Structure formats: structure tokens, C-alpha cells
Amino acid sequence: MILNAASGNQDGDDKRSAITAAFTKRGRGVDFINVQDHDSVEAAANAALADPDAALAIAGGDGTICGAASVLAGSGRAIGIIPAGTFNYFARSLGLPQEMDAAVETLITGQPRAVNVATVNDRMFLNNASIGAYAAILQTREGTYRRWGRSRLAAYWSVVKTLVTFRAPLRLNVRVDDQTLTRRTPIIFVINNAYQLQQMGLDGAEAVAAGELVVLIAPNTGRLGLFRHAAALALGIAKSETDYEMISGKNIEIVMKRKRRPVARDGEITRMGGPFTLRHAADPLRVMVPRDAPPSVR
């Protein structure tokens, strides 16, 4: 079990005790690899792979799952998920149990399902990748979490605090399959999760079902407009072509004059060099789901 003690709002020792108790109840053992004992989530995942006979699982939020999955996906081994973050979009999109005991039951009795994941310049993301204001929001959010703890309220407050001071819209060219757009925008999102789109009241689930990535581009409307669009997204009342422009495709390239940018991938920030190429990964991720789980478009 790769465990990120800092994910979500539950104490790390409490998470470990609850997971251990759920396995013990079923006559199973579990060994932990703590993310905090390694240089990165990826390093912790590599340590987990050292045991070729162990079943592998991750307890954490979307960012932790993404980092570990980027290593484990290439191994061909199925992974289990214990949702332990703030939003848990990846787990919820697969219909995975959010309650600890049921999640452990799925690890033991479930079956693997192939799940499409995506990459930006060959770095994996599960739900979304973005450039612009969202990366700034994440940086603010980490400071807010350290001061007030992890919660959805703290996450939403980080949005407000960041947008008060955010400036400098991006100037970019976006190529989606055979179509090219030139835009000025404070933020561009690429989404690979139909469930997240539906939760945010956005269109595009059909495109994800068709094997495409969904690109959302916010209009360049100044700070007041940013607040309005952000509120519309948060309340699930955003309107296409008013609060965002949407286009979808299988191959996306984003080109900007300033090539190095912070890129947010599933809530984690990586500074990357452009141009930025986004597409589905060649090989899907194999995730344990309940045996009676219906097929879903995530």
C-alpha cells in the first residue's frame, strides 16, 4: 500500500490504522510504503514494485494516484485505489467505494478494468491538465491547506484569493486534430474525465465516450469576468460559449511564446517546457473495481 499521509483531511496515523484493521478483519496482511519517506510519489511507487508478488494499491488523492500510476502503469500490474483525497474525481468516476472498509473489500475481491489515461509531453494525467490561472490557484491552495487544513471550503477560498490578484492572460495557439485556434485566455483546461465534467455542469461527456480529450478555454474578460466564470463553474451553471469555449479531439498541441510554464496535472504542479502535446497514453491503466460495477464512461 502506497500511502500519502498528507492527502485529504484525515490524520495519516488514523488512515494507516483504519486500512490495517480492514485487512486484518479479512485475514489479510498489508505493508505500507509511505510517500513521505521518499523523494517523490514516483520513488515510493518504484519501491512498491520491488516486491514482484505483492498486490499493489494506492491510498491518497488524485495527485498521489496520478504520480504512482505513472510508474505502475508500465508494469502491467493491476492497482487498487483507496480514495483519501479532497475531491477523489478519479475514484468516483470509476464508481469505487469512498468508505474505507468497502474500498479494501474491492482491493481483495474486485476485478481489473482497463482505464484510459492521458499524457502531456509524456507525463501522465488521469483527470485533467491545465496551464494558466489554475496552477496559480494550486500554489495558493497549498499555503491555505497548511494554515487551515485540507477541505473543500479551503480549496474554494484559494480560488477567490488567487483571482483577486491574477494577471497576464496567456497568448497561445491551440491545434486540436486538424483545427487551429489563436486565443488570449487566463486558463486552458484539457479534461479526460466525463464524470468531472458532469459534476461541474459542463458539456463534453460524449466526446470523452468517443475517445477524445475535451479542451476548455476561458474567455479573456478581465478580473471581474474571471470571478463570474469561476462562480458559474463552481455552481454548475456555466454556459458554453459564454463562460468557456469547448473543443475536443484526440491530439492536442498548445504553443506559447514563453515556453516553460507551470502545468497542473490532477492537482499537482510540474514546470514543463513547451510546446505542450496532449493525447491518450498508448496503454491503459488497470484498476481494481467491484465485480458488480456497471461499465462507465469516466
Whether the pLDDT of residue 108 is over 90: the answer is yes
Percent of the chain, pLDDT > 70? 85
Q: How many domains, the chain?
A: 2
Q: Could you give the C-alpha distances from 182 to 186, 222, 263, in angstroms and in order?
A: 13, 18, 19
Q: Residue 292 falls within a domain, yes or no?
A: no
pTM across the whole model: 0.84
204 and 248 in contact (C-beta within 8 Å)? yes
Among the candidates 63, 82, 109, a domain finishes at: 109
**CATH code where residue 223 lies:** 2.60.200.40
Q: Residue 289 falls within a domain, yes or no?
A: no
215 and 176 in contact (C-beta within 8 Å)? yes
Assess whether 271 and 150 both reside in one domain.
Answer: yes
Looking at residue 235, its pLDDT comes to: 47
| pLDDT tens digits, one per residue of 4-13 | 887 765 577 8
Q: How far apart are the first and last CA of the chain?
A: 24
Assess whether 85 and 135 both reside in one domain.
Answer: no
Assess whether 92 and 160 both reside in one domain.
Answer: no
| pLDDT tens digits, one per residue of 116-159 | 899 999 999 999 999 987 777 777 776 677 676 766 677 777 77
Assess whether 130 and 84 both reside in one domain.
Answer: no
**Alpha helices of the chain — where are they, by DSSP H?**
12-25, 41-48, 62-72, 89-93, 100-109, 133-148, 152-165, 194-199, 205-209, 222-235
Assess whether 137 and 276 both reside in one domain.
Answer: yes
Assess whether 142 and 269 both reside in one domain.
Answer: yes
Q: Residue 117 falls within a domain, yes or no?
A: no
Mention every residue, 6+ apart, whose C-beta is less than 8 A from residue 42. Answer: 67, 68, 70, 71
Assess whether 178 and 91 both reside in one domain.
Answer: no
Closest CA to 185 of 224, 228, 216: 216
**CATH code where residue 82 lies:** 3.40.50.10330
Assess whether 100 and 180 both reside in one domain.
Answer: no
Among the candidates 109, 132, 154, a domain finishes at: 109
Q: Residue 295 falls within a domain, yes or no?
A: no
- CA-to-CA distance for 44 and 37, rounded, in angstroms? 8
User: 10 Å Cβ neighbour count for 44?
Assistant: 25
Assess whether 19 and 137 both reside in one domain.
Answer: no
Looking at residue 186, its pLDDT comes to: 81
Question: Lowest mean pLDDT: which of 79-88, 97-106, 152-161, 257-266?
Answer: 152-161
Q: Residue 211 falls within a domain, yes or no?
A: yes
| pLDDT tens digits, one per residue of 247-261 | 999 999 999 988 899
Looking at residue 171, its pLDDT comes to: 92
Q: Residue 297 falls within a domain, yes or no?
A: no
Q: Which domain holds residue 219?
A: 124-280
Q: What is the mean pLDDT of the chain?
A: 86
Assess whether 245 and 134 both reside in one domain.
Answer: yes
